[in-house]
Amino acid sequence: MISPVLPTYARAPLSFVKGDGPWLETEDGTRYLDMGAGIAVNSLGHAHPALVAALEGQARRLWHTSNLYDIPNQRALAERLVEHTFADTVFFTNSGTESTEAAVKMVRKYFDNAGQPERNRIITFEGSFHGRTLAMISAAGAEKLTKGFGPLPDGFDHVPFGNMAALEAAITPQTAAIMLEPVQGEGGIRAFSEADLKAIRALCDEHGLLLVLDEIQTGVGRTGKLFAHEWAGITPDIMAIAKGIGGGFPLGACLATERAAAGMTAGSHGTTFGGNPLACAVGCAVMDVVTGEGFLDDVTRVAGHLRQGLEGLVASHPDVFESVRGEGLMVGLKCKAANTDVINAGYDAHVLTVPAGDNVIRLLPPLNITTGEIDEALARLETAARAVEETL
């Protein structure tokens, strides 16, 4: 008999009832170190006091009005995002996939508005992940996402990851944009090189294309910059964010330059819940912490400590692990053993990690994790690695 919850997830036999910083606790009081942070969602850990206060304070005043009215928290969060990024304007959503959808709609509208409606195709990369709506599974293109769900929306051309010649060859008079994650998350923590990001920006400029970045996983401090593209010294025209910006409360956004957003006039797009007072209160609190003095420097410092520890772990367990990759606190451990075996052994050692493509396990801890907590995580991963070794 089907479970009351639609069984679209192969869930681990684990359930948590409370959290505190990077720790999660089960009903019987067992504590797990959360190195997945809800897949890069709990950017400041669980039950961060400033986020709890922001949500509680707003919950007592007002939950929902409608986007028919000005929403002060939404305006405040938009102003913060505009102040700290390339963007001039922001559309708020409740999730990642709504943010990439908004980005794609904006691209098409831009060229329609410019009198070039035939330019409506977007180039994407193999191994990418942009969400689960029909258009976004079509955008990513992998069979594991699309199988059985056709007919799919058209308008996406897929090129191999990291193949600049193929990318250039895929540009046609119908091409409107290139969309990519600076570091592929679900795809296995695969980063575009800074040189390739620069070259892609240059290609966009040369051909009049819009550059759309999906920073849903890489954004909001995850890589040690507020947004990952800053490492390459480039800016996009449109950027989708979600996950970390809400710190665990559902919140996403599509950021754009004034030029790219030109076609998005009143009535062209909308949302009931996007940008609601509760989500934006939390979003403002997250932004205030992450853009605070020295916060991102600390992310980089702690990330260096993690990286060093993981290099040691890989070196001492060459039959379990192959290499470490990623940027900042978005780290992948490429496995030699099955990644799911390593993750399950982690559960036994009370440390949570997340699977990714290419036989990788992902470590995406809260950005405010301490070096002491990192050491504890490394010790538990060491236990997990030894357990896996015994089964090989």
Ligand X SMILES: *Cc1c(COP(=O)(O)O)cnc(C)c1O
Q: Which residues pair with 355 in a beta bridge?
A: 361
Considering the complex, state which of residue 34 and residue 214 has its C-beta at the smaller distance from ligand X: 214
**How far is residue 65 from each of residues 83, 268, 293, measured CA to CA in Å?**
26, 20, 34
Among 217, 223, 339, 353, binds ligand X (CB under 6 A): 217
Judged by CB under 6 A, which of 42, 73, 74, 95 binds ligand X?
A: 95
Please report whether residue 96 would count as binding ligand X according to CB under 6 A.
yes
CA–CA separation, 392 and 389 (whole Å): 5
Count CB-CB contacts under 10 A for residue 88: 14
Could you tell me the smallest distance in angstroms from the CB atom of residue 140 to ligand X?
A: 9
The residue from 22, 131, 277, 328 that contacts ligand X (CB under 6 A) is 131
Dist CA 322 CA 377 (whole Å): 19
Among 230, 252, 231, CA closest to 243: 252
178/216 with CB nearer ligand X? 216
Asked if 219 is part of the footprint of ligand X (rule: CB under 6 A), the reply reads no
What is the chain's alpha carbon radius of gyration, rounded to the nearest angstrom? 21
Q: Which stretch binds ligand X (CB under 6 A): 111-119, 129-137, 171-179, 277-285?
A: 129-137
The residue from 185, 188, 247, 283 that contacts ligand X (CB under 6 A) is 185
Residue 31, classed as helix, strand or coil, is: strand
Shortest distance, CB of residue 133 to ligand X, whole angstroms?
8
Site residue total, ligand X (CB under 6 A): 14
Q: How far apart are CA 82 and CA 91, in angstroms?
A: 11
Nearer to ligand X, 73 or 97 (CB): 97
- Identify the sign of the CA torsion 56, 57, 60, 63: negative
Instruction: Kindly tell me which of 41 and 264 has the beta carbon lying closer to ligand X.
Output: 41
Closer to ligand X by CB, 38 or 45: give it: 38
Residue with the shortest CB distance to ligand X: 96
Q: For 3, which DSSP code?
A: -
Which of 78, 42, 329 lies closest to 185, judged by CA?
329
Under 8 Å between Cβ of 251 and 94: yes
Q: Considering the rule CB under 6 A, would residue 216 count as an interface residue with ligand X?
A: yes
- Binding ligand X (rule: CB under 6 A), the pick from 55, 104, 242, 287 is 242
Q: Which stretch binds ligand X (CB under 6 A): 11-19, 91-99, 144-152, 160-168?
A: 91-99
Q: Is 181 in the site for ligand X (CB under 6 A)?
A: yes
State how beta strands 321-327 and 18-20 pair: unpaired
Binding residues for ligand X, per CB under 6 A?
A: 95-97, 100, 129-131, 181, 185, 214, 216-217, 242-243
